[in-house]
Each structure stands twice: as structure tokens, then as C-alpha cells.
Structure 1
Amino acid sequence: MPGKELSDPCMDCRDHDAILTIRRRRLCRNCYIRFVSYKVLRRTERYRFRKGIPKTGPCKLLLPLSYGLCSSVLLHMVHEQMEQLSKPHSPPGFDLHVLIIEPSSISPSSPSHDRAFESLKQRFPLASFTQLPLHSIFELVPNLQHILPNYAGQALADDTSRSPKERLDAFRATITSATSIADVDFILLNRLVIAFAKSIDCLGILWGDSDDRLAAKTLANVATGRGSSLTWQVSDGMSPFELEFSFPLRDLFTAELQNYAILFSELTDIIVPDTPLSENVLTKNLSIDQLMMRYVSSQGEKYPGVMSNVTRTANKLQASRMSTDGSKCALCATFICNSEGVLNPTRSTNDSPSHQFCYACDRSRPGLS
């Protein structure tokens, strides 16, 4: 008997009706999943086949999860790979640890996600899960509790008798501009993730940034004075923190990840949608990061190739060759360098080396932002 005639055959397998369009190709469900998953597989296979990695058992990788679209989809894809690796005669693979920084500890308006946390552990049994509040950064990075009062200066009356949460909330309240708030929060989150990864001996971190998110981050970092950090903030490779940074979703757009998530009910139950930015919000009330994300989202629909070129160009950048004496910024923990080869010239040379801040961090300080 002749096969069933398809009204809209998949352009890959020709066996099923196409349901989604990706890059001008109409694909069925299975072919769409295969296409998107392969983009991630290409970025993580070196951990499976131990390319350049000591073969002393599975290496540990950390995946920070925010309950957002991108990190949730990345977890789903990587866990699918791990299920394949758990079969006999497969490469040794890797151990996946997932870190969730309690959303309510970052923003009081965010609800608790305890139920989602339990669902995650049941749905992804091959991964290990840890949930921490943002103020646990004082436990994992002890010297930070002395650095923050120095960074805030007279704007903060630090009281050591208060709880870590109260002390951190008081510090964050001293940062006033939207851009500085986003910048400092990113630094705190980044340091907490890195410190946790080191505490459990991880080889690297899998960040859940899509192509357009990386493009927005590239533009925002240049605008905020963090252009020298692009070589590790948006690029695969070794970071200044002795951890490998990998961005497995760098070849995929947010819209493509949204289509992937729709195909799996377990993802739609976990993902907390981002609150869309109102067009009525004044630009002065938005951070540079939000402005760049809005720009990339709107222009990416019209010119996706242009946004991809932003990310690809940034990925080709090499680390700065500007001289440095090895000193690191006390807040963001990256190297401080300039053309004279001295510490950040915006700070007094009489300051303690442990309280020196890089140019970008100095710009976000209370009273200067």
C-alpha cells in the first residue's frame, strides 16, 4: 500500500508532518529536537571523550539554574546526554551538579520555588542539586564581608551583629542606579557560583546563555567598562578563576529554545517566564543590560545573522596583553591592568591592596554611579 501522503512533510526525514520552522527549514518534532540538541552536544562532547582532560574518572561540571528558559533547557539537554552515556560501553561522561540560587533571596518579589526544586530532583535523577541563598556568599567567600563595607564607603553603616542576609540587603540597598544594581548583582551571583564550583572540585561551569543573550551581554559589558572580561564572560575556555567556562547554547536563539521547551511538559512546569519589559518604562530606569537585551531581541528578529556575528566576533577576542602586577579587583576578583602596569589609577596608592577595585567596579560604587 502507498504510504500516507503528508500535507507538510519534514524536510529532514520526510516521514512525518513538519510542526516547526527553524532557520527556514520545516521540521517534525523529532528532527527539531535532534537539530537543537546536536548544537549543544557539539559543545559538551569534549567532556564525554575526555579531550585534554585527565582520565581519572568522570569530571565534575556545574550548571547554574535560574528557573529561566535557557538554563532549564540546557539542563534538559545535558541530562538527556547523560542518560545516553549511562548505557553500557558508553564514554565515561561527567558528573553534573546543578546550583540554584534562591530567587527570593535575590528579589523579595520572587516567590519561593521549593516545589519546583523537588520536581527537578525527581525529573533529573542523574544530576545533583544544591539550593543556596544569595547571602551564603559570605560563607563561601569569607573576605567579601570586609570588602563590601569598604566598597560602599560612607553609604553603608555596616553592623556585624546583624545576620548575613541583613548585611547583604543593606549593602545592596546602597547601590542606586539600575545599571550599577545589575552590575553588582551579577558580580555577587558570579562569585557565589564560582566559589561553590571550586568547593566541590568542579572542572568547569556550563552557563545557559543563548546566542542573543551573549550578544546583549557583549554590548553591555563594553558599555559598562568590562570589555576586557569578554574573553571569559561570553567565550568558551579557561577563565581567570581557574575554571573552564562553556556556553553550550551559544549557537541557538532564545526563540528556538522556546520552541524546544514547548515540546516537553516537564519544562513548561519548571520554567518561570521572564517578565517582559514594558514599552512605557523610561530608558533612564532601565539598566544597560536591559537596554541591550531589548535592542538585541527586537533587532534579532529582523537581522539574526548580525546578532550572531556580534557573539562570534567576541568569541575570537584574545585576553588583554596590558601589563599587570598580578593584583585582582577585590570585588569581582579579575585582574587589574592598565597601560602603565600599575593598580587602578582611580584608587589611591595608599589603599590596602585587598581593597583595590577595577575601573568597572569603581564606576558602580555608591555616589559614583
Structure 2
Amino acid sequence: MPAKELDSPCMDCKDTESVLTVRRRQLCGACFKRFVSYKVFRRMEKYKPPRNPQDPRHQLLLPLSFGVSSSVLLRMLDAELERQRSKNFARNTFDLHVLVIEPSTMAGSSVPYDRNYEAVQKIFPQHTYSQVPFHSIFEYVPDMNEIMREYTGPQFTDDSSRSNAERLAAFRAAISTATSATDVDSVLLTRLVAAFAKQSGCETVLWGDSDSRLAAKALAGVAKGRGASLTWRVSDGVSPWGLQFDFPLRDLYKAELIQYESVCPELAEIIIPDEPPSDNVLTKNLSIDELMMRYVETQGAKYPGVMANVARTVNKLETSNSGNASCGLCGGLVGNVKRNSGVTVSSQAESSGSPFCYGCMRSRPEINC
């Protein structure tokens, strides 16, 4: 009996009905998953099994925001470990530690996530999970209170008798503009994740940033004067804290990750949908990060290749070995940085006991704009 003729066969396997159009190719769900997995795991080839079975496995940390990108990355990493176990590998190539920064402790986030956190542990039980509040940065970065006092200047008073949550809220309230507040929040979040990773014995942080997100971060970073730190904020490389920062989703667009979610129904229990951007918000009230993300999402749909080249170009930058001092807040370099930015901070900042880089100086309360 002849096989049933397909209306739109998958262009890879030829024997299944296609369900998705990906980069002008009609693919079925299984072939699409293979396509995405290939894009991800070719970026992780360095995490191979140790030659000596007695050597410890790679310890990787994945910050999970319950967004599409980090949730999809978790699902793919879990599937890879399951594949290794099914092939009777002597041992898995890595252990995965999943970190959740409690969304309720972040600015502008009041979405409940308890069910999502329970669901992710139930669906992917093979990994280690931790959740910490944003204000635990005082615990993981012991000198953070001193850094904050110096950063905000004499007009800010840190009351050590208050709770860590109240102290962090007071510090963030001292930063008035949307761009500066978003910028500093991003810096603090990175510091907290890096400190947690080091304390947990992890060697690498796997960030769930898509190509679209990396392009927006690159454009925003340059606009905010953080060009010198793009070698680890946007590119795979060693961070100022000695940890490797990797972006396995850097070859995938956000739209493709949303497609991946559509063929993995279990992710619906984990992902917290993004709130649609409001058209009623004045541009002047948006941060640079939000403006760049909106720009990339709208233009990326029309010209995906152009947006992809933004992140790829940044990935070619070289890490500076100029020996400049590190910024007390973000860990970036202070002073004139060759190759990447060419920006020189003021002599006042350079002579400070705990200097800050140009990007952090722009977000300080007394000079933000």
C-alpha cells in the first residue's frame, strides 16, 4: 500500500509533516529540535568528559528567570544529559546548578512564581536548585555595603540597622532615572550571580540570552559607555571574577526560542509570559536597555541577519590586558581602555580609593542624566 502523500513534508527527514518554518525551511518538530540543539551544543564542545574518570565533572550554573530563553536552555541541557545517560556514557559531562533570583524581590516584578518553581523541579529533577532574594547580595558580596556608600556619595546614608531588603531598596531609590536604575540593577544582578557561582563551586555561568537579546545588550552597552566590558557581557569569555561566562543561545533568535517552546508543551508550566510592551509609554520614560530591546525586536523581524551581525561583531573584540584598575561596582576596567572603548574617566574617579568605570560613573545619583 503506498505511503500517504504529505501536503508539506519536512525538508530534513522527508517523511513527516512540517509544522514550523525556520529560516525559510519547513521542518517537523523533531528536526527543529535537532537544529536548535546543534546550534547550542556546538558552543559547548569544550565541556567534554574528563579524560581521567577520577577528575571532577564540569560544574555549570544556569540563572533561571522563568522567561522563554533561560527555560528553553534548561530544557535543552536536561535533554542532553538524558541523551548521555541513554547512551550508557560512563558519566555525564557536567552537573547543572539552577539559580533563581526571586522575582518578587526585583524591581517592577510582582508576578507569582511559586508554581513555576515547583514545576521546574518536578519536570527536571536531575539538577540542583537554589533560590535567593535579590537583597542577598549583601551576604554573597560582603563589601557591597561599602561599595554602595562610596558609589552614591555623601548624600546617601546607609542604615545598617535596617534589613537587607530595606537597605537595597533605599540604594535603588537614590538612583532616579530609568536608564541608570536599570543599568545598576543589571550590574548588581551579575555580581550576585557571579558571587553565588563562586561560592557554589561552579566554574561557568551559562546565560540564557538569545542572539536578539545580545544584540540589544551590545547596542545599549555602547550607548551607556560600557563598551570595554562587552567582551564578557555579550561575548563568551572570562569575567572579572575569574568565572567563564558563556552564551549558548547566541546563534538563535528569540522568535526561534518561542517556536521551540511551542513544540515542548511541558515548558508551558514553567515559563512566565512576557508582558507585551505598552504603546502608551513615553520614549523619555524608557531606559536605554528597553529602547534597544524594542528596536531589535521590531527590526530583527525584518532584518534578522543585520541584528545577528551586531552580536557577532562584538564577539570579535579582544579582552584588554592594559592592567587598569577594576571598577568597584561592576568589575570593568577603569581609565583609558585600548581597542574597545577609548573612554577615559575623570581624574577624580581615578584618584578615588575605590574607582568606578565610565559606565558606572554615568549612573551615579549626582550626575545621572
Pairwise same-fold verdict (TM > 0.5): yes
For each residue in 1:157-194, what CA deviation from the matched residue of structure 2 results, as whole angstroms up to 9, or x when unmatched?
22110011100000001111111011000010000000
The equivalences for 1:157-176 within 5 A come to 157-176=157-176
| Unaligned stretches of 5+ residues in structure 1 | none
The question of whether the paired residues in 2 share the 8 Å contact of 1:216 and 1:292 is answered with yes
From the superposition, tell whether residues 109 and 208 of structure 1 become closer, same or farther in structure 2 (CA, over 3 Å): closer
1:42 counterpart SS class = helix
Within 5 A, what are the aligned runs for 1:86-101? 86-87=85-86, 88-89=88-89, 92-101=92-101
Aligned residue in 2 for 1:366: 365
Scaled by the length of structure 1, the TM-score of the pair is 0.93
1:145 aligns with 2:157: no
Matches within 5 A, 1:43-192: 43-50=43-50, 56-87=55-86, 88-89=88-89, 92-107=92-107, 109-192=109-192
Equivalent residues of 2:106, 2:134 under 8 A apart: yes
SS at match of 1:47: coil
Q: Residues 55 and 336 (structure 1 numbering): CA distance in 2 closer, same or farther, change over 3 Å?
A: farther
Q: Give, in angstroms, the shift of residue 203 of structure 1.
A: 1.2
Q: Which moved more, 1:298-307 or 1:114-123?
A: 114-123
What does residue range 31-46 of structure 1 map to in structure 2 within 5 Å? 31-46=31-46
Taking structure 1 as reference, are residues 307 and 54 closer, same or farther at Cα in structure 2, changes over 3 Å only?
A: farther
Which whole-Å deviations, capped at 9, do the CAs of 1:9-39 have from their partners, x for residues lacking one? 1111111111100000001111111111111
Contact 2:179 2:289 in 1 (8 A): yes
List alignment gaps of at least 5 residues for structure 2.
none
* Pair 1:351 & 2:352 matched: yes
CA distance in structure 2 between the partners assigned to 1:14 and 1:300 by the alignment: 30
| Aligned-partner SS, 1:184 | helix
Distance in 2, Cα, partners of 1:47 & 1:54: 14
> 1:86 is paired with a residue of what secondary structure?
helix
Q: Distance in 1 between matches of 2:91 and 2:133?
A: 35
SS of the residue aligned with 1:308? helix
Partner SS, residue 347 of structure 1: helix
Deviation at 1:276, TM superposition (A): 2.1
Give the structure 2 partner of residue 3 of structure 1. Answer: 3
Query: C-alpha separation between the residues in 2 aligned to 1:195 and 1:212?
Result: 27
RMSD, aligned α-carbons:
2.1
Instruction: For 1:61 and 1:112, locate their aligned partners in 2 and report how far apart those are by CA, in whole Å.
Output: 27
> Which segment is superposed worse, 234-243 or 59-68?
234-243
Shift of 1:279: 2.2
1:274 counterpart SS class: coil
Shift in alpha-carbon separation, 1:339–1:90, aligned structure 2, 3 A: closer
Q: Which residue of the partner structure matches residue 218 of structure 1?
A: 218
CA change 1:284–1:272 in 2 (3 A) is same
For the 8 Å contact 1:179–1:286, the answer to whether it is kept is yes
Question: Pairwise mapping of residues 198-217 of structure 1 onto structure 2 (< 5 A)?
Answer: 198-217=198-217
- Which residue is equivalent to 1:227? 227
Which residue of structure 2 aligns with residue 336 of structure 1?
334
Alpha-carbon separation, structure 2, partners of 1:339 and 1:36: 37
Q: Distance in 2 between matches of 1:261 and 1:209?
A: 15
1:286 aligns with 2:304: no
Q: Which amino acid counterpart does residue 333 of structure 2 have in structure 1?
A: F
CA distance in structure 1 between the partners assigned to 2:185 and 2:80 by the alignment:
32
Q: Provide closer, same or farther for how the CA distance between residues 54 and 164 of structure 1 changes in structure 2, counting only shifts above 3 A.
A: farther
Note closer, same or farther for the CA distance 1:208–1:170 as it changes in structure 2 (3 Å cut). same
CA distance in 2, matches of 1:109, 1:314: 30
Amino acid of the residue matched to residue 332 of structure 1? C
Greater mean alpha carbon deviation, residues 3-12 or residues 266-275: 266-275
Q: 1:232, 1:64 → 2: CA distance? A: 16
- With over 3 angstroms needed to count, the CA separation of the structure-2 counterparts of 1:155 and 1:50, relative to structure 1, is farther
Using the TM superposition, give the Cα deviation of residue 347 of structure 1 relative to its aligned residue in structure 2, in angstroms.
Answer: 2.5
**Per-residue deviation, 1:363:** 0.6
Aligned residues: 364
Matches within 5 A, 1:234-253: 234-253=234-253
Contact persistence 1:60–1:94 (CA under 8 A): yes
Superposed displacement of residue 282, structure 1: 1.1
Counterparts of 2:335 and 2:50, CA distance in 1: 34
Bigger mean CA deviation after superposition, 275-284 or 1-10: 275-284
Q: Identity of paired residues, percent?
A: 54
Q: 1:259 to 1:90 in 2, by over 3 A?
A: farther
In the alignment, the residues of structure 2 paired with residue 90 and residue 261 of structure 1 have an alpha-carbon distance, to the nearest angstrom, of 31
C-alpha deviations, 1:316-359, integer Å up to 9, x for none?
Answer: 111235x334x221111223231699x9435256532xx22111
How far residue 119 of structure 1 moved from its aligned partner, in angstroms, is 1.4
CA distance in 2, matches of 1:363, 1:349: 14
After TM superposition, where is structure 1 displaced by more than 4 Å over at least 4 residues in a row? Answer: none
Deviation at 1:43, TM superposition (A): 1.3
Secondary structure at the aligned position of 2:60 is classed as strand
